[in-house]
Amino acid sequence: FYSWISDEMKDKLLDIISHHLADNGIAYVSYNTYPGWHTMEEVRQLMLFANRGYDELTHKEKVLRGKTVGSLVGAQILNYDNLKERNSKFLGALRSVMQKDDYYVGHDHLEPHNDPCYFYQFNDHLKAHNLTYVCDADLTLSMVRTYDDSIADKLEKLAPNSQADQEQYLDFMLDTTFRKSIICKESAAKDISYDVANPDKVNTVPVRSIVNSFVFQILFDEEALEMFENELVRDTFKALIKDGGTFNMIEALAILKAAHDTANASEDDLEPAVCSLYKAIVEHMVRGGIRFYKTFPDKQEYMEGLSYVPARFTNFVKAIADGGSEYIYGANMFNDAIGDISEEDLLFMELLNKPKAKSTMIKKIKDSLFSADKAQTGKHQNAMAEAFYNELTKRMEQLGFIRSKKNNGLS
């Protein structure tokens, strides 16, 4: 939001956050950043120039024209080795933009405002509104030591007393193009600590207490377990994955202890394994291999005659299916993108606008989808409708679109 508004509105945005944020609250502000956006700015200016004098085109048509012209320019550069080498950075940015969805290209490259800034400039603006930076939602930008000690050591020497300055130097190293800053009131900043990002401090009591307060969900599979050097840690994650991948630290430590006892390992092996487990969990929280929650989202199972899909979810999917995919994407309860929302999803959601018996749903599905197929017998149509019903009820569960009515109330 911050990059796509005027300077006056930027001030207003931070003013609203400053005045309405709870004392211990946090806010999320995303924006395009330099130095990475210097090259992307060249692509934006190319697309704006390509559409100069074509005011009669719709926004969608301007995106198509911008992409077409960009592809032609890139193809010409590729014809000459000296140009290809000299403009490699621009070609990389151009290729990246050409592969993006139209809604992204239209927003980032053809909107009237696109005003990237350096991270330190955003930080300075926060201070003027009594706000303070906490960390980036992409934790790898704020917690470098979890994956590269060498870079972290260099950053500490460059800016020994400023986490924010270290991150600005990191942006120069990584050529960062986008940031997703978590901010809070300046009065709350005294409690901010980056110890959790330092492997040497992960196994202190304060940091363990923080880790113990979360519920976790593993996103990697068994094939990735070889990355863990400690055999007891590897066996622990294997057991957690087989059990569904959702756990808290009490459960994980119990499994680790059981694996230790089963292996008849010495008592001296247990505490190093516990330390390795905490370190592994924090590293993968940062890298994105493990989701973490204060309380795990309530994922409801489908119950015949009780479950239904609320209108707000149906309207959301209808907007996407009716052409909105050019501007927005579908998402599940974890805000993971859903790229395959279909008319069939929408049909099922509209049919399940209130709790219905399975037999009623199957009849409605058969009438809507299969009754026109004269080549299939009624028996086959019933079987296809039932298979469709079974598949879509599971899909609605996975997307988090299901709610249930119990005792005339919402569960």
pLDDT, one tens digit per residue, over 197-233 is 676 778 888 889 989 999 999 999 999 999 999 999 9
Mean pLDDT over the full length of the chain: 89
pLDDT at 333 over 90: no
pLDDT digits (tens, 9 = 90+) for 35-86: 999 999 999 999 999 999 999 999 999 999 999 999 999 999 999 989 988 9
pLDDT at 409 over 50: no
Pair 341, 328: CB distance under 8 Å? no
pLDDT digits (tens, 9 = 90+) for 354-389: 999 999 999 999 888 876 665 566 678 888 999 999
pLDDT at 251 over 60: yes
pLDDT at 92 over 70: yes
Q: What are phi and psi of 342, to 5 degrees?
A: -130, 170
- The whole-number pLDDT of residue 348 equals 93
- Bridge partners for 32 per DSSP: 178
Pair 394, 400: CB distance under 8 Å? no
pLDDT digits (tens, 9 = 90+) for 173-204: 999 999 999 999 998 887 666 666 676 778 88
- The whole-number pLDDT of residue 193 equals 62
- The whole-number pLDDT of residue 408 equals 43
Q: What are phi and psi of 142, to 5 degrees?
A: -110, -20
- The whole-number pLDDT of residue 376 equals 64
Give pTM, 2 decimals. 0.75
Pairwise CA distance, residues 227 & 250, whole Å:
23
Pairwise CA distance, residues 161 & 139, whole Å:
19
- The whole-number pLDDT of residue 341 equals 83
pLDDT at 271 over 50: yes
Q: Are strands 178-185 and 215-218 parallel, antiparallel or unpaired?
A: unpaired
Residue 264: which region, alpha, beta or left (left: phi > 0; alpha: psi -120 to 50)?
Answer: left
Pairwise CA distance, residues 199 & 81, whole Å:
46
Cα→Cα distances 63→4, 41, 73, 122, Å: 17, 16, 15, 29
- The whole-number pLDDT of residue 207 equals 85
Cβ density class 58-91: b for 16+ within 10 Å, e for less: ebeebbebbbeebeebbeebeeeeeeeeebeebb
Please give the residue that has the higher pLDDT: either 194 or 333.
333
pLDDT digits (tens, 9 = 90+) for 96-117: 999 888 888 998 899 888 999 9
